[in-house]
Structure 1
Amino acid sequence: MQSDHEGFTLIELMVTLAVAAILLTVGMPSMREFIERNRVSAYTNLLVGALQLAKSEAIKRGNLVILCKSNAAGNGCNPSGAWKDGWLLYADMNADKAYTPGTDTLIRRHEATSQLSITTGSKLACWIGFSPNGIPEGGGTGCAGRLVGNDTFSICASNPSATRHGRRVIINSTGRIRTEDATC
């Protein structure tokens, strides 16, 4: 005798759910890694864009243009802060290598990120600037200005469970900016 009922049996549904669970278990870690890699790459591109803008603005304005670590309010530099707290890009009109609202020209501000770790070499501990001829100058330990030579920004995901993929932004003594993969 044949039944007029059509549909799936309980066993067929359970097998389908088991296969779907296995596929999700395998796929989720790679999706998480994909998101982390994209977050690192996007932030790296923002930083490179800010550095290139600083260099071109310095040449265009004929003035030192500085990228510094932002304070919590986003209205000044914080030499003891962290690069992940955000940054300010400004034309240093009074040449004191410190952001002075009303005197210096704010070009761009970038907000903080808690999802990434950003470290630098000792020559870029406080700030990086570009002179009117495009040569980089950095505020290293003690925040005194000096020529950069070669130094780096390293950008990594903050999440310790994520794969430790990162990017490095390298600035050489002539002001050339390039990126490369890094292991964090």
Structure 2
Amino acid sequence: MSKLFGLGVRRNNRTGFSLTELIATVAIASILLTLALPSLSAIVVNNQLSATANEFLAALNLARSEAIKRGQYVVMRKTGSDWEDGWQIFIDLKRDSTDSKNAFDADSDILLKTYPGLNDGYTLRGNNSRFQSYVGYQPNGSSNGMGSFALCKNQQLQGTKLLIVNLVGRPRIATDSDRDGIPEKDSGQDITSCMSGF
């Protein structure tokens, strides 16, 4: 059409990026991604810790509420050698001997719920001798004692979640009032370990 009017203008209708522009864009994107990966990884771990802590808190609340509702002794017990291997909640009907107390018996006890184990690298440990194996709830909602559970990733204190069961059996997630990434016990001191006896 431009030849009709004698203008002699040629149009170049190329679209897209040149190779140099594409290489520069990929280089900038890879630099930004490299800088963002550590913080994204920390966010994923923190979200996993929060979700697991909330699930464990909900399980403790379920055991307590079932004990009150049913008027029966209800136990939340680990299913493996440690809490991170999973846990189950059951009505402990057979309590006539030391061996049968706080231990699930499929023939006499009533299983309410079973929880799977945690992902590799996560630990969940109780801080006293009773909480290392189970938490038992009386029909009035009180527990077999008071204590705490530490939930950690790769045994690092940074980002740890601490669950506390008080004297009347109410569970809660501990706060990190000084915002150093390590939750405080009721005494106000940071926990010092992810393993038993923290």
Normalised TM-score (structure 1): 0.80
Per the alignment, residue 126 of structure 2 pairs with 120
Which ranges in structure 2 are unaligned for 5 or more consecutive residues? Answer: 1-8, 96-100, 183-193
How far did 1:33 drift? 1.0
Distance 1:157 1:3, change over 3 A: farther
Q: Which amino acid aligns with 2:78?
A: K
Q: Equivalent residue of 1:13, what SS? A: helix
Report the Cα distance in structure 1 between the residues aligned to 2:10 and 2:150, rounded to whole angstroms. 69
Report the Cα distance in structure 1 between the residues aligned to 2:46 and 2:169, rounded to whole angstroms. 26
Return the match for 2:149 from 129, 149, 153.
153
Report the Cα distance in structure 2 between the residues aligned to 1:176 and 1:50, rounded to whole angstroms. 12
Contact 1:114–1:158, Cα closer than 8 Å, also in 2? no
Report the Cα distance in structure 2 between the residues aligned to 1:105 and 1:35, rounded to whole angstroms. 36
Q: Flag the structure with higher strand content.
A: 1
Contact 1:84–1:113, Cα closer than 8 Å, also in 2? yes
Runs (4 or more) in structure 1 with deviation over 4 Å come to none
Q: Which amino acid aligns with 1:88?
A: Q
How far did 1:3 drift? 7.7
Task: Tell me the number of residue pairs that the alignment of Structure 1 and Structure 2 aligns.
Answer: 162
Contact 2:123–2:155, Cα closer than 8 Å, also in 1? no
Which ranges in structure 1 are unaligned for 5 or more consecutive residues? Answer: 72-80, 138-147
Matches within 5 A, 1:38-77: 38-71=47-80
Q: Flag the structure with higher helix content.
A: 1
Report the Cα distance in structure 1 between the residues aligned to 2:125 and 2:163, rounded to whole angstroms. 10
Structure with max Cα Rg: 2
Report the Cα distance in structure 2 between the residues aligned to 1:159 and 1:18, rounded to whole angstroms. 36
Report the Cα distance in structure 1 between the residues aligned to 2:114 and 2:15, rounded to whole angstroms. 63
Return the match for 2:136 from 110, 129, 133.
129
Q: CA RMSD in A?
A: 2.1
